Amino acid sequence: MKTKITTFRLLTIAFVLFVLPIGAWAQTFPLYLCGDGTAILKPDATTTGTLKAGDKVVWQEFSTADAPMNTATELTVVTDGIAPDFQVGGSGLSDGEHRYKVFIKTATASCSGDVSPALALYNLPDASVTLGSPSQSTFCEGGSHPTIQASTLTATATTINALLTDVSYVYSWTATKNTVAVADITTIGTQTANTFTLNNLATAGSYVLTASIKYAVAAGQLKSGDALGCVKSSGASSAITVSPKPATPTITFN
């Protein structure tokens, strides 16, 4: 019996240490901001409909430990049924989680309503992306070398907090051939997330590539300063030369 109890305790500890944290630590938010993006917070429509001119809508930020932070913001209702805008975000907002609560104070008797549940949002950090060196600085056109027939570039972006399970980057690539923009990147190679492989689709010439990233969220809403997901681009890659394939000869004689 003692052995069975010990085994059960060990299994319980293993469950707590290795199973629970994955779900318990994962975080998703209804609202994400990036790149000085802002959002307007308001009470729900039912509450807003009861507001009278002179009422106060009081906003307060709270810590993750549910302690009030900074100074509460009191906004005065000007028109019946219309809540004043409370803007959050912008350049002054630190990266990470922010939690806001709101309550109403009436103008006639200064009655205070109950405080709302918190709305949690996450301000994403300013990201960047860089390119590594191409796997080959040159290769031969049309598979005319027996083994070296492509060159791969890898883009490395700022690491996203692993707990943010629904936030990711979308990668896109652009290229020039002999300094002229390539209209369709799929005509010279293949992209897989953060890598691009210049391959036998590319004709002879000098190619330079650039990678871009932007934030994307699987759920919730993302508000970005550029309205595009906070696009960031790498510098240009070093040139990759695709050497021409020799012409097919015919045999002559004299």
Global confidence as pTM: 0.84
Q: Are residues 112 and 55 in the same domain?
A: yes
- With respect to residue 251, please indicate whether it lies within any of the assigned structural domains: no
Q: Are residues 82 and 133 in the same domain?
A: no
- How confident is the model over 39-53, as a mean pLDDT? 95
| Range(s) of the domain holding residue 227 | 129-243
pLDDT of residue 17 exceeding 90, the answer is no
E strands of the chain, at which residues?
31-34, 38-41, 56-62, 68-76, 86-89, 96-105, 119-123, 129-131, 138-140, 151-157, 167-177, 180-181, 189-192, 195-198, 205-217, 221-224, 232-233, 240-243
Say which CATH number the domain at 82 has: 2.60.40
- How confident is the model over 216-245, as a mean pLDDT? 97
Q: Are residues 224 and 143 in the same domain?
A: yes
- With respect to residue 17, please indicate whether it lies within any of the assigned structural domains: no
At 183, list the tokens: 């209209």
Q: Are residues 140 and 112 in the same domain?
A: no
**Cα gap 146→221, rounded to integer Å:** 50
